[in-house]
Amino acid sequence: MKKIILLLASFIITMTLTGCNGYEELNNLSIVTAVAFDKTDDEYELSFLIANSPKAQTSAKEGEAKTTVYSSKGKTIAEASKSIEQIVPKQIYLGHINVVIISEEIAKDGFLKISDWLLRNPQTRKKFYLLQAKDEKAKNILKIVSPLESFPSQSIATLIESNSETKSIASSITYSNFVSQILEKGYDPVLPSITIKGSVKEGSNEKNLETTEPESYLVLGPLAIYKGDKLQSFSTEKESWAINVLKGEAKEVNYNVKYQNEDISIETYSLKSKIKIKDKQNVEITISGIGDIYNINNKIDIQDYKEINKIEKAWSKSLTKDLTKIVKNVQSKYKADIFGFGNLIYKNNPQKWKKLEKNWNSKYFPNLNVQIKTNLKIDATGSLLNTIKEEKS
């Protein structure tokens, strides 16, 4: 029994000492949780969002900021990074980055010009979220604090995750996803955009955490459409959700259908998209999904199978019309193959792709005949009138 007690005591002492050493090592690091890339004239501006560790042998003061943004400029990203290292008192650690924001200037100049720095750094995991700043400097995005999360980087990550699942306007894209799409033949990438609602000054103030209605907050915007590694344009909000549906990136979509001069709200889930290349001029996209009915006129008997069948047809017709319009917009307005039609041709027939590749975006992609088909089913219905009657009975 004494031996067991001695062994346990020895184990506890060892773990305590190891824990202290780990704490000291952690306390000597400046942990970067987000990075922003900006460009002004011929200089790059790099910004690190660093989690503030507690001061040695003291507790955090009330109102003390949990994060700090350090920025520096240079002719190259590496030069800007070295400059930040000279002003940050602790060793910089990039192993916990979960968000990277790039400015419009960086994106228009070419993402691959900065991607090398991220790729070659051995600490980064390459699985962080990548977002496009819109109408705002990328570094300002990192400064906005949220009452719901301790760190702005976590707030951004949570925002992109929740929106990609419930609204389908944004899609969660990692660094690895984005670079692989750039390098794929016949595929133009997209990125979710993010901007600030309100002023940077108010949003970066810790008092923004204390109010029931924040003065400033982050908002996910429409998709940023790229050609290769360069920003081409921004889609509209309606185009964004439709693009995600067509690409199979949408998780849930709340869709309104006009039926008997009334709006019926259908919560669509289990959405799937299947793209079939018939030939160099014809493409077929099949959208399948299941939906639940909400907000319906009580005069419509949704217990009647024939009525449900009519609603399904109206839903199918309306969605097909909307998606077809968006595809044509992308073809004519953006001329960027964000659906990867060309990539499917390349994979199925590399020799044919060689003949089409040079003029794909300018000539062949804009003139494709894209046919949208739908396979939509209503799974569950709900009637407020019937529910009230059941409650009374």
The stretch 278-294 carries a mean pLDDT of 91
Token digits for 178?
Answer: 């984005």
CATH fold label, 239-393 = GMP Synthetase; Chain A, domain 3 (3.30.300)
Confidence grade of residue 326 (pLDDT, cut at 50, 70, 90): very high
Using the predicted structure, report yes or no on whether residue 257 has a pLDDT greater than 50.
yes
Within a 13 Å sphere around the CA of 83, how many CA atoms are in the beta-carbon half?
A: 16
Phi, psi of 158 (to 5 degrees): -65, -40
Which is more confidently placed, 380 or 161?
161
Residue 250: the pLDDT is 84
H helices of 268-304, in order, are: none
Which is more confidently placed, 207 or 351?
351
pTM equals: 0.83
Count CB-CB contacts under 10 A for residue 261. Answer: 6
Mean of per-residue pLDDT scores for the chain: 82
Residue 56: the pLDDT is 43
DSSP structure string for 326-390: HHHHIIIII---TT-HHHHHHHH-HHHHHHHGGGIIIIIGGG-EEEEEEEEEEEE---HHHHHHH
Of 21-25, 215-219, 250-254, the one with minimum mean pLDDT is: 21-25
Which is more confidently placed, 106 or 278?
106
Using the predicted structure, report yes or no on whether residue 353 has a pLDDT greater than 50.
yes
Domain ranges in the chain are 1-234, 239-393
Which is more confidently placed, 194 or 30?
194
The stretch 193-207 carries a mean pLDDT of 70
Q: Percent of the chain having pLDDT more than 70?
A: 79
Tens of pLDDT, residues 98-154: 999 999 999 999 999 999 888 887 777 778 999 999 999 999 999 887 665 656 777
**CA gap 152, 129 in Å, rounded:** 13
Of 211-225, 322-336, 357-371, the one with minimum mean pLDDT is: 211-225
Confidence grade of residue 24 (pLDDT, cut at 50, 70, 90): very low
Token digits for 246?
Answer: 């067509």
Residue 147: the pLDDT is 60
Using the predicted structure, report yes or no on whether residue 49 has a pLDDT greater than 70.
yes
Using the predicted structure, report yes or no on whether residue 18 has a pLDDT greater than 70.
no
Residue 384 class from Cβ within 10 Å (0-12 exposed, 13-18 middle, 19+ buried)?
exposed
